[in-house]
Structures are given as structure tokens and as C-alpha cells.
Structure 1
Amino acid sequence: MGIFGKLSFKDQTFRLREDAILDATTRVLASKGFDLMTMDDVASEVGISKPILYKHFKSKDDLVGAAMIRLIEGALDFLERLPQEETAMGRLRALLAWALRVRLEGGLPFLPSTSPHVRDMLTRNLRYVTRVLKLNGILKGLVGEAKKTGELDGELPDDVILFSYYSRTCDPAVEYLRLYGKMDDQQIVAYMLDVCFRGIAVRP
């Protein structure tokens, strides 16, 4: 029995509407950005009134925080569902591929990298910070394992590798490849993974 089987019809409706609100928030953020997005935009996108929207989220900051928390939880859930036998490098590659696919589908607004206000707001959100620290800890462990197996450069500091890895999720090359590269999404993801993990220099 899934989680909805344990909820009343009213609670199920509330939960489904909340998911729809967060989906709409992500789409609006991807198209307009945080500063230009309004609660009216989100309510209109979902097809609900603004008073109903405020029953779920009391402010734009609250709404965006919830959308970003759901994104991090999606990444954590994806990692947990990978096969136990998957290597550290395999997990790093798989998660980046997942993040790029989510982004290409419009579900990964790279807000913290573009908005100081959003960065400040999220650092005050304990639920978000807790999940980010958990994800970062997992990834740092994977980087360490991949270094031990010689799959990642052991001379590079962990933070250099991690922040380079994170930057790939908001690399503008993705949009340029989609607009001008005449590639489908699967090819874009494959090439971005190749550039991230193998570089652009000629291989010996």
C-alpha cells in the first residue's frame, strides 16, 4: 500500500494539489526566474485561486524553498534506488545524468547560482540545509572512493571535484547544445558526462 492509501480523500487531494503547485513553481522559475516570478503566476499556472495557493505556502520564499527541497530529495531518492553493486564512479555518473535529464525537462532551476536572495533564503531554511548537507556528504564519500580506485585524480582536492561536478548541473552549454547543436536530449546528456569525467583534451 502506498502513502496515499493511508490518507483520507481530503488529504490525498491536498497532497496532489501541492505536488501540482511545486511542478508549476519549477516551470515558472525555469522560464522567469525568482525575481520575476509571482504567486499570481503560480496560481494561474496551476489553475487555482491565490487564496488556495496561500493555504499551502505562505510566501514566495516558502514556495521556492519547498520546490528546492523536493529537488534535493529527488536526488537522494535516486541515489538510494541505484543497485547496491554500482561503483562510486558509476553512482556519480548516474546522478549527474539524472540531474541533466531533469534540467532538460525543465525541472531543475539553478537558482542558488544566479540569485543572492535565494542563496540567503535557502541557507536559513533548515530543512533544505539538512538535505543539502546529507547529499554533499554522500557525494564527498563517493569522490573519496573513486579516488581510491584511481578513477578520479587523487591530487585534486575534493572540493574542486565536487564544485566542478555541481557546476555541470547549471552549465549553459546544455541550452546551447539544445538550441544550436542539433542533438537530442540523450546525446546532450552523454556528451556532457563525457566532458565532465573525461575532459576535452585528446586521450592517449
Structure 2
Amino acid sequence: MPRGRYQQKQWEVREQAILDTLEVLSAERGFNTITMDDLATTVGISKATLYQHFPSKDEMVSRLLAQHEDRFLDWLDQIGSEPATVRLSHIMLYLLEGHVKPLQGPPGVEIENIMAVFERDRALVERHDEILKQLVAIIEEGQSGGTITPLLTPDAIIAAMFALSKLPEGIRHNPVPLDHIVLFFERAIRAE
């Protein structure tokens, strides 16, 4: 059934509320513990309405991951005119601030379930590959410009970025401020 502009806007707002709720509940208690009933109740809609928007939690996960990937790609475009080392520092801080961590929660089997959804969604995998290509291009630009050490491969630098971004909260925020981790990263990749 076709919807008018107002109805379409309501539909989109409700879908975003569902995705936001999934992300919040996941961070609070873990993705695997969340039921469709939990989501519907927390959003304030019926379970039937929830299913009109998303036929499954997997569909919600795909959409949420896509949103995070799209935001990251847009953000990479916004910093595209900066020098390579500055872009990498910005990216490191972006990662440390948790902008690329949808569905975070207690570790365990949850990541396996989320990765299974990710791997089944070709568009998600393609966006992820595009992100990695852009990161490699930034690193190679810095290496060819002599500002980033050629002793580290782009893959090693990217792996270090993601490893640093996964430091436990207590280590990242107290006593080590985020800008100190970024400074550590900058010094590690700097060409001598």
C-alpha cells in the first residue's frame, strides 16, 4: 500500500527507533538475549508492527551494520583533503570513540552470530571491502609521501588500529586518555 510523505516519514522514524533500541539493548545486555518482544515493548509498538518493519533480527543487524558502514564511508569522504597522517589519526580517534561498533555487548558467541549475518549480506561485505581499500590507499599515500613508515604493511597498520580500538574501557579512558592512544599510534607509524 503506498504511503504519503507524512506516513513515510513516520515509518522511517519508527524503523530508526527500532534499530537504535536494538543497539542500546545489545550494549546493555548482549545481542543474543534480546527478543522481538523486548524490542517491540521498548520501542512502544506491537510485535506485529515490528515484523512489518523487519522480518527478523538478522535483517535488523544487516541494516544497522550498513548504517554504520555508510556513516564511516561518508566520514572518510569528509576528511579526504587532509594529509594521510592526519586522516589516520582522525580515523584512530573515530574508532576509539566507538563510532564503528554496532551491537557491542558482552563477548562470546554473539560476535559469531553477527559475523554470520554480515557474511551472508553481499552488500555489507562489499562496503567493508571499500572501507579497507580506502584505508590502504591512505596508508600507501603516506608511505609514498614519506610520512608513514614503509616498514609496516598497510594490513599491519589497519590491524593495529582495530586492536587499539578494542582496548577495554578502563584502559582507554582511565588513566589513559584517548588522545594519548592516538599519539602512541601516530608515533608508531611515523617515518623516521
Q: How does the TM-score come out when normalised to structure 1?
A: 0.78
Residue number among 100, 105, 121 corresponding to 1:125 in the alignment: 121
Whether the 8 Å CA contact 1:99–1:108 is kept in 2: the answer is: no
Aligned length: 183
- Structure 1 residues 39, 125: closer, same or farther in 2, change over 3 A? same
d(CA) in 2 for partners of 1:159 and 1:116? 22
Q: Which residue of 1 aligns with 2:34?
A: 37
Contact 1:76–1:135 (8 Å) recurs in 2: yes
- Rounded to whole Å, the distance in 2 between the matches of 1:107 and 1:123 is 17
Contact 1:78 1:95 in 2 (8 A): no
Cα distance, 1:78–1:38 mapped onto 2, change above 3 Å = same
Distance in 1 (alpha carbons) for counterparts of 2:86 and 2:147: 10
Q: Which residue number in structure 2 is paired with residue 13 of structure 1?
A: 10
**Aligned partner of 2:13: which letter?**
L
User: TM-score, normalization: structure 2?
Assistant: 0.82
Name the structure 1 match of 2:87.
Answer: 91
Which structure has more relative contact order (CA 8 Å, sep 6+)? It is 2
**In the TM superposition, what whole-angstrom CA distance separates every residue of 1:149-188 from its partner, at most 9, and x where no partner exists?**
333221212211111112233222x34444xx267xxxx3
Residue pairs, 1:94-173, within 5 angstroms: 94-103=90-99, 108-110=102-104, 115-172=111-168
Q: Could you tell me how far apart the structure 1 residues matched to 2:123 and 2:178 are?
A: 30
Residues 169 and 55 of structure 1: CA distance in aligned 2, closer, same or farther (over 3 Å): farther
CA deviation vs aligned residue, 1:13-49 (integer Å, no higher than 9, x gap): 1111111111111111212222222222222332222
Q: Deviations over 1:41-76 (max 9, x none)?
A: 222332222211111111111111211111111111
Structure 2, unaligned stretches of length 5 or more?
none
Identity %: 25
CA spacing shift, 1:69–1:194, aligned 2, 3 Å: same
- Report the RMSD for the aligned CA atoms in angstroms: 2.5
Amino acid in structure 1 at the alignment position of 2:45: I
